[in-house]
Amino acid sequence: MPVDVRIPQLGESVSEAVIVRWLKADGDLVRADEPLLEIETEKAAMEVVAEAAGRLEIGQPEGAHVAAGAVVGRLTEAAPATGDGAPPAAPRPEPTTVETSPPRETPPAPRRDAEPPALPRRVEPRPPPAESPAPASQEREEQPAAATASSGDGRRPVAEARSDDGAPPAPAAEADVERVPMSQLRRVIAARLVAAQRTAAILTTFNEVDLTELLALRARHRERFRARHDVDLGLVTLFARAVVHALRAVPILNARIDGDDIVHHRRVHLGIAVSTSRGLVVPVVRDADTRSLAQIERALRELTERAREGHLAPQDLRDGTFTITNGGVFGSLLSTPILNPPQSGILGMHKIEQRPVAVDGQVVIRPMMYVALSYDHRLVDGEQAVTFLVRVKEALEDPARILLDV
């Protein structure tokens, strides 16, 4: 019995996807649970797998926009499984030989700009000098005048076409460019970022953090942490705990505006920006305020791997309440991150740089990082934003604050 290939439910507020590519060709035999096609929504890319074994009939082409639940293909002729559980391969047609006669040799067409072939001359008595033929240069001068462009290296001049007003024609407008259609994900990223700047009153405040104590703590316990929990102790994870600590002190940055209402979130669902080949995505570590460092690190590692492989599910990208983005991995020293709507705050991490700073009246070299908080000024006052960023700074410079919640 034929089985329809349907687009799965795409998540909250997402109703359409684009077929990026079919992973199987029309007529291929496939196994149950084998990936058939890759689709992309405004939030993520994902694969659709076969619900049963059979022969694939493709109904919608690559690039088609399809709704959730739409039928895009069909699996028919469910073949009996072979010993390894896979349907038998389709028989290959016997090769055929087609005899062809050797191609005729066609004389090359004469070039338009070539001189006509010279006619054979009769041998006649030499005429007197006065009646001798004009030199070639004089013959050219007697030809109708034409503008020429010389190469300057002794090659034959080439006639240059001109427009009615005598000016040379303009070069082809796009001769040296390449046009590539924007992906669905890139189009949505662009639209959402422009919408964020149009609808929110985005303001950014900055501070700098001395990471001496945090890096020393990480260095002392990193190997034991890895041995105990089978995950690394990442810097973003430590920043995530500092953000959770600061959100407890300034919860308005974990809220959002919905029409004329303010929605306060009881949990911290922390979005972590991840750069992929398709663009920037923000998977969410849910309930980050209740997780241990190891649990945050494990969730973050899994989400990052799936994001870069294009295997994020819609639920991995929704319900975020605050975001962290790390431009420091690309060498950024300072930036102003853009809000991830409808959130009201985003923390930007940057490059760690050894810089001279004054400590207790002495100039010392310390590992310093600029941090930036962009926030929606419609909801968050400047005092609240600065207080939040100071709390993050204090937690990172004195990591015991995170443990003691002070």
Query: Residue 112: inside a domain, yes or no?
Result: no
> Stretch 266-275: mean pLDDT, rounded?
95
Maximum mean pLDDT: which of 61-75, 124-138, 171-185: 61-75
Check residue 44 and give its pLDDT. 72
- Which one of the listed residues 260, 377, 398, 405 is annotated catalytic? 377
Check residue 102 and give its pLDDT. 44
What is the CATH classification number for the domain harbouring 12? 2.40.50.100
The Cα–Cα gap between 106 and 103 comes to 9
**Amino acid in the structure at residue 186:** R
The Cα–Cα gap between 224 and 394 comes to 25
The Cα–Cα gap between 324 and 345 comes to 9
Domain termination residue (choose one: 76, 100, 124):
76
Check residue 386 and give its pLDDT. 98
pLDDT range class, residue 403, cuts 50, 70, 90: confident
pLDDT range class, residue 152, cuts 50, 70, 90: very low
Domain termination residue (choose one: 50, 76, 102):
76
Per-residue pLDDT at 298 exceeds 60: yes
Per-residue pLDDT at 82 exceeds 80: no
Tokens of 138: 């004089």
The position carrying tokens 């006619």 is 119
Count of domains forming the chain:
2
pLDDT range class, residue 384, cuts 50, 70, 90: very high
Predicted TM-score of the model (pTM): 0.65
Query: Residue 392: inside a domain, yes or no?
Result: yes
| Domain of 70, in residue numbers | 3-76
The Cα–Cα gap between 53 and 80 comes to 9
- Which one of the listed residues 26, 230, 319, 381 is annotated catalytic? 381
Query: Residue 281: inside a domain, yes or no?
Result: yes
Nearest to 17 by CA among 370, 310, 342: 310
Q: Higher confidence at residue 238 or residue 318?
A: 238
Query: Residue 138: inside a domain, yes or no?
Result: no
Tokens of 125: 């008595």
Query: Residue 30: inside a domain, yes or no?
Result: yes
Maximum mean pLDDT: which of 10-14, 145-149, 185-189, 237-241: 237-241
Of 114-128, 263-277, 304-318, 340-354, least confident by mean pLDDT is 114-128
User: Does residue 381 have an active-site annotation?
Assistant: yes
